Amino acid sequence: MQDLLTIGQLSARSGVATSALRYYERMGLLRADRTGGNQRRYARGELRRVAFIRISQQVGISLEEIREALESLPAARTPTPEDWTQLSKLWRNRLDEKITLLTRLRDDLDGCIGCGCLSLRRCILSNPGDQVAAEGPGARLAVPR
C-alpha cells in the first residue's frame, strides 16, 4: 500500500478530473511532490483537501475564498492550535451564514404551499424602517450584495 497517489488515482478517488486537479494546483489549492521524472505524487491527505474544495464549491464558495481558508492549513509543518481556531472561526461564520440563508429559504418555500404566491417577504426581505422612506414604502432585500 503506497502512501502516495498518482494524479490518476487521486482523480478516480475524488471524482475530480485530472485537468481540474492540475488547475487547483496552479491556483494554489493543492500541493504535490514530484518524481524524478516530474510526475505528481499526492500525499493521502490531499484527498481531504479535494473533498473540502468540492463541497465548499457546491455551496457557492469561490476557489479564491477556499484557497484563503486552506492557506492556514498544514503544508508539511504542523499548524499551531491558534491557526486552527482562527480558520475554523472564520469558516464557521461563512458556513453559518449560508446555512441560515438556506434554511430560511427552504422554510419559506414550505410555508408557501397553498398560498398561491412566493411569499418570501416574511423572512428574506425586510424593511429596515424609516431611513429608506425617501425611496418610498416597501420592502428591500436584506441580503448582502
Partner DNA sequence: CCTTGAGCTCAAGTGGGCTTCAAGTTGCAG
Partner DNA sequence: CTGCAACTTGAAGCCCACTTGAGCTCAAGG
Q: Tell me which residues touch DNA (CB under 7 A).
A: 6-9, 11, 17-20, 22-24, 27, 32, 35-40, 57, 62-64
CA geometry: angle 47, 63, 58, nearest 5 deg: 70
**Nearest by Cα to 7 from 36, 58, 28, 38:** 38
**Nearest by Cα to 34 from 43, 21, 46:** 43
Q: Is 28 in the site for a second copy (CB under 8 A)?
A: no
- Residues whose CB is less than 8 angstroms from the CB of residue 59 and which lie 6 or more positions away in sequence, other chains included: 95, 98
* Partner that binds at residue 38, options DNA, a second copy, none, CB closer than 5 to 8 Å by kind: DNA
Question: Taking CB under 8 A as the criterion, which residues in 76-135 touch a second copy?
Answer: 78-79, 81, 84-85, 87-88, 91-92, 95-96, 98-99, 101-103, 105-106, 109-110, 112-121, 124-125, 135
Q: Smallest distance, Å, CB 91 to DNA? A: 16
